[in-house]
Amino acid sequence: MAKQYDIAVVPGDGTGPEVVAEGIKVLNRVADKCGFTLNYTEYAIGGEHYKRTGEILTDETLNALGKADAIYLGAIGHPKVKPGILEKGILLKMRFHYDQYVNLRPVRLYEGVDTPVKDKGPKDIDFAVVRENTEGLYAGAGGILKFGTPDEVAVQESINTRKGVERCIRFAFEYCRKRNRRKKLTLCGKTNVLTYAFDLWERTFNEVAKEYPDIETDYAHVDAICMWMVKNPEWFDVIVTDNMFGDIITDLAAMIQGGMGIAAGANINPEGVSMFEPIGGSAPKYTGKGIINPVAAVSAAQLMLDTLGEERGASMVEGGVMKVLREDLQDVGAGKMGFTTSEVGDLIAEYIEKHY
Ligand code: IPM
Ligand code: MN
């Protein structure tokens, strides 16, 4: 019998629904070609829903989503909701609840896409960041004392567990091996200042490395990584790092690969349900105009297929994305593509239809 996958779809806010629709358009074409079935169930979660109902993410929804084979998410964010509420109540809640302990962000400059990095091209910018996704400064440990007084104290601690660090590092080694490019894994830390947390990271990294003699290892401080990502991005193959550093360096990485219209991420629990998203956010100023670039959402769908084990389907999606970026789009920015959001989805789907 043909394989079936239940996909929980969270179109979310702003331009989320527009880009998710194009991702689904492409996914359906690939499913036809590969002979598997995708069953979608949509969930109303996000800032709009919160404004309307006062509900953020109920246990019932959390349980329902958790039964899916994968979660496909557009964007969460609302200009009229105080920062922190939706981020913590939805995005981080899902990452923690489903124990999606890896945030995988491939960084690849495709042909036809401009990078702000001078004299660098597609052969120089092709790496991936494996970001720990459930611990560190994001764990929410800490608090405020003497709130609002001149003696106020705010403490926010970074939580790093041996288990959490090790499973993330292990994933990175495995991923690096599977990726099979330069076979080099770089640990990104700050061992010269954060001497407790990154001591644990470094010791664990060196221990696990012994099991992967085929992978070259390297270490760089997070500030130096920022410098080299701009100066010598070709040095990187896979970078593994903690939650906060991973958050920061992947925004920089998204810029050198062509911007937020391109960058996709996967929140992965290899033993559970994973979530796939374009990392650009809800882009309120472009909402409803049909001018946002759906490529990041389509690439998130590629990561989803890859994680589900549909590798051939995933490579079809990438083939379509590469063709359209190389030959069709004038620019990757919103309103500058020379096509509408929906036309870009059509172009990718049509290419897959004809080419495979
Ligand atoms: C990301 C985002 C989130 C993060 C925010 C929205 C909570 O910036 O996915 O990188 O910090 O992880
Ligand atoms: Mn971020």
* Domain CATH number, residue 75: 3.40.718.10
What total number of domains does the chain contain? 2
Mean pLDDT (whole number) for 123-128:
98
Residue 268 has pLDDT above 80, yes or no: yes
Q: Could you tell me if 240 and 133 lie in one domain?
A: yes
* 124, 75: one domain: no
- 218 pLDDT tier (thresholds 50, 70, 90): very high
Same domain flag for 279 and 322: yes
Give the distance (Å) from ligand 1 centre to CA of residue 271: 22
**Percent of the chain predicted with pLDDT > 90:** 98
Of 195, 229, 257, which one is at a domain's C-terminal end?
257
The rounded Å distance from CA 251 to ligand 2 centre is: 6
What mean pLDDT do residues 294-299 have? 98
| Residue in 76, 87, 88 to alter for ligand 1 test, most ligand atoms within 8 A of Cβ | 87
Residue-level pLDDT at 1: 67
The verdict on 164 and 123 lying in the same domain is: yes
Q: What is the pTM of this model?
A: 0.97
Domain check: are 296 and 348 in the same one? Answer: yes
CA-87 nearest atom, ligand 1: 7
Domain match, 129 and 78 both: no
The pLDDT > 70 percentage for the chain reads 100
Looking at ligand 1, which atom is closest to the CA of residue 133?
12
Atom number of ligand 1 nearest to Cα 279 = 9
Range of the domain at 220: 115-257
pLDDT digits 0-9 by tens, 314-355:
999 999 999 999 999 999 999 999 999 999 999 999 999 999
* Domain end (from 211, 231, 257): 257
Same domain, 198 and 149: yes
Which of 241, 257, 273 is where one domain is finished?
257
In this structure, are 123 and 241 located in the same domain?
yes
Ligand 2 centroid to 255 CA: how many Å? Answer: 12
Q: For the residues 87-114, what does the mean pLDDT come to?
A: 97
pLDDT at residue 2, rounded to an integer: 83
Å from CA of 248 to ligand 2 middle: 6
251 lies in the same domain as 119: yes
Residue 196: is it exposed, middle or buried by C-beta count within 10 angstroms (0-12/13-18/19+)? Answer: exposed
Same domain, 288 and 201: no
With a Cβ cut-off of 6 Å, ligand 1 is lined by 87, 91-92, 247, 279
280 pLDDT tier (thresholds 50, 70, 90): confident
Q: Are residues 67 and 183 in the same domain?
A: no
The minimum-distance atom of ligand 1 relative to the CA of 281 is 6
User: What mean pLDDT is reported for the chain?
Assistant: 97
Nearest-ligand number for the alpha carbon of 138: 1
Say if residue 253 is in the same domain as residue 312. no
Three-class SS of the chain:
CCCEEEEEEEEECCCHHHHHHHHHHHHHHHHHHHCCEEEEEECCCCHHHHHHHCCCCCHHHHHHHHCCCEEEEEECCCCCCCCCHHHHHHHHHHHHHCCCCEEEEEEECCCCCCCCCCCCCCCCCEEEEEEECCCEEEEEEEEEECCCCCCCEEEEEEECCHHHHHHHHHHHHHHHHHHCCCCEEEEEECCCCCCCHHHHHHHHHHHHHCCCCCCEEEEEEHHHHHHHHHHCHHHCCEEEECHHHHHHHHHHHHHHCCCCCCCEEEEECCCCCEEEEECCCCCHHHCCCCCCCCHHHHHHHHHHHHHHCCHHHHHHHHHHHHHHHHHCCCCCCCCCCCCCHHHHHHHHHHHHHHHC
Residues facing residue 239 across a β-bridge: 129, 186
How far, in Å, is the centroid of ligand 1 from the Cα of 288? 23
* Measured torsion, CA atoms of residues 277, 263, 103, 184, in degrees rounded to the nearest 10: 150
Ligand lying closest to the C-alpha of residue 265: 1
Residue with the smallest CA separation from ligand 1 atom 5 is 87
